[in-house]
Amino acid sequence: MTPFACTYVCFNLTPCPTIFTRFPAFSLRFRVYKFERWPTIFYMDIDNVSRFDLFRDLTDGECTRIVSLGRECVFQAGEPILQEGSRGEDFYLVLSGNAEVTKNGVRVDDAGAGEILGEMALFNDQVRGYGVAATECTRCVRIETSDFLPLVLHNDPAAVKMFAALGRVMTERLQRQDAELVSKAGSSDERLAQLAGSFAPLKKQLMADWALKYHAIGRPGKLAITATKAAGSAADLSVAYSPGVAEPCVAIAKDAGRAYDYTAKGQLVGVVTNGTAVLGLGKIGALAAKPVMEGKAILFKRFADIDAFDIEVNETDPERFVDVVCAIAPTFGGINLEDIKAPECFEIERECCRRLDIPVFHDDQHGTAIISGAGLLNALEIVTKHIADIRVVFSGAGAAGFSCARFMLSLGVSPGNLLMTDVHGVVYKGRGDDNYLAEVAAETDCRTLAEAIEGADVFVGASAPGVLSAQMLKTMNRDPIVFAMANPVPEIDYPTALRARDDVIMGTGRSDYPNQINNVSAFPYIFRGALDVRATAINEQMKLAAAHAIARLAREPVTEQAGFDGGDLRFGRTYIIPRPFDRRLLIHVSAAVAEAAMQSKVAQRTVDLDQYKAQLRRLAKLER
């Protein structure tokens, strides 16, 4: 018997083994079941279902396994599918039709074929956060969480893949709904204000739960090591290891530069921390910082195809920490220092740079500075202000704030027009700071942020939530530029800022608001350019080149080459920095950094820039 061209599945049934015994070939492409509850058999084309985006990472067999957990449900127009406030014990895959998603009676989304409904029940076993009703005859597959979750807990491959896909869908949905609320931030509609107020805690709870599950499902953590050469036979091992491996060892012993030819050194970055200033969590220790460092390694790989090892060092003494970093440095082509508190981070980076002949880069300092600097250049062009004339006020004098201030001085901000504030107020000459802050201490009578911000053109925050009030914002100069970078809650909330000033240009560290100031738009590409010319350092010229390259890219049209749907994005007040997923960053920034390294004489390898850009375009999958 010839197998059918497509596979079918039916739901909540008992297997019928007779068919598989008599027709083995038939069983390869068909999943046939006998109903326990219904008198007839219902078939569904699994090939059509497997084309849904939700199932893109699953094989046909895995797709069949998941769908066969459920049963078919049909809802007529107007009939509720999910009721807001009810307990979530199942989720639904929409096979056909359409449904409307509501929150507090307000429409927030639509769902058609291939969409999932009620997936939040997997991440929040309390009440439904949303209501869903069919807007036309809608067919669904209903899967109970009590049937699905045990498979995830037992690391069933199909269930783990599906669970990850559901988490991705939920995250995208939450971000989309948040973005829609943000777009209406200036509205006086009380229902929208209530919706925004109830949505924020729900999103926070769901994202926190999913983040824990994301890191735990399947193989714990986010990293694995893969081999780049064949190692499946004795012949392979004889050159990968003994005796053949002796040859590259001898060559490197004679010429250290050959390590770049025979090992992964030139493609490998060490992400090193002691866990003394982790994200917004503070001093949580080296081990607790490991998820962040693994995440950093993923970003290196995802955006610039650079391999990275996360190294968590249980040492808070700066001198001993530097000794550890320098001792392991032969492994790497570059060192990315991460989440080390100020002022020790300045001393550690400076000493590592002095002792090592590979690039050393503290991303919390320089990555933030480069991205905010690029945003500043573009914002000033939009509001037609000259960088030498603007007044800039900083909130936060830690690693990020201090480095942003220094970098903006390099970009052209006048030292006399820059004021730094911290928890003690304005950093002024004579205040008594016998440390690094003396470099940015100002001659001023201002003592508080409120006094400093009056008449300022730019506010840069790297401090704490809520330190910039709406009233303070109202006292700034025309077309104020506000970079509120505290995460996850900025110094002033985006909707609050828009209500206070409709002429504000605002950037934050959040992906759900316009103008995200995110280091990932800089550090992978800076290291890519530095590694490719075997730079001995990442100097100021390379950082400036990166900032100007990022700024230039934001002024270009968002085409298909960007690798994402730019929609109506165009250079202006809500688009002054390229989105992190813009594939063109790899070409623009890496090439600019490589060129600056060669011009400033820190490159040990010269590349032809046209050929190098072509190589980067292939790496970014912009051409073959």
Give residue 204's pLDDT band: very low, low, confident or very high (50, 70, 90): confident
pTM of structure: 0.82
Task: State the pLDDT at residue 256.
Answer: 95
Mean pLDDT along residues 452-456: 98
pLDDT tens across 338-352, in order?
999 999 999 999 999
94 pLDDT more than 70:
yes
Between 216 and 82, where is the model more confident? 82
Class for domain 264-357, per CATH? alpha beta
Q: Which residues pair with 131 in a beta bridge?
A: 102
Mean pLDDT along residues 408-423: 97
Most confident of 95-104, 193-202, 304-313, 485-494: 304-313
Nearest partner of 32 among 21, 43, 47, 46, judged by Cα: 43
Mean pLDDT along residues 564-568: 78
pLDDT tens across 513-543, in order?
899 999 999 999 999 999 999 999 999 999 9
CB atoms within 10 A of CB 110: 12
Residue 506 is inside which H or E element, if any?
A: strand 505-508
* Phi and psi angles of residue 35, each rounded to the nearest 5 degrees, phi first: -70, 140
pLDDT mean across residues, the chain: 88
Mean pLDDT along residues 19-41: 36
Task: State the pLDDT at residue 401.
Answer: 95
State the burial class of residue 424 (Cβ atoms within 10 Å of its Cβ: 0-12, 13-18, 19+).
exposed
Mean pLDDT along residues 454-472: 96
Contacts of 298 (CB under 8 A, 6+ apart): 222, 223
584 pLDDT more than 50:
yes
368 pLDDT more than 70:
yes
Mean pLDDT along residues 270-294: 95
pLDDT tens across 549-559, in order?
999 999 999 98
Report H helices in 217-245.
234-240
Nearest partner of 485 among 611, 370, 358, 592, judged by Cα: 370
Indicate if 366-517 has the same CATH topology as 74-216: no
DSSP 12-58: SEEE-HHHHHH-HHHHHH---EEESS-SS---EEHHHHTTSGGGTTS
Between 488 and 513, where is the model more confident? 513
614 pLDDT more than 90:
yes
pLDDT tens across 136-185, in order?
999 999 999 889 988 888 888 998 888 888 888 888 877 777 767 666 65
236 pLDDT more than 50:
yes
Mean pLDDT along residues 102-128: 82
Distance from C-alpha of 480 to C-alpha of 455, rounded to nearest angstrom: 9
22 pLDDT more than 90:
no
CATH of 74-216, one of 2.60.120.10, 3.40.50.920, 3.40.640.10, 3.10.20.440: 2.60.120.10
CATH of 366-517, one of 1.20.1440.230, 3.20.20.30, 3.40.50.300, 3.40.50.720: 3.40.50.720
Distance from C-alpha of 428 to C-alpha of 414, rounded to nearest angstrom: 16
Distance from C-alpha of 335 to C-alpha of 353, rounded to nearest angstrom: 10
Distance from C-alpha of 146 to C-alpha of 217, rounded to nearest angstrom: 17
Task: State the pLDDT at residue 594.
Answer: 98
Q: Sign of the C-alpha dihedral, residues 162, 164, 167, 173? A: negative
Give residue 35's pLDDT band: very low, low, confident or very high (50, 70, 90): very low
Q: Which positions are annotated as active-site residues?
A: 241, 296
The tokens for 241 are 């290891």
Torsion of CA 167, 171, 173, 178, to 10 degrees: 160
Ranges of each domain in the chain: 8-67, 74-216, 264-357, 366-517, 520-619
Task: State the pLDDT at residue 34.
Answer: 36
412: region left, alpha or beta (phi > 0 left; psi from -120 to 50 alpha): left
491 pLDDT more than 90:
yes
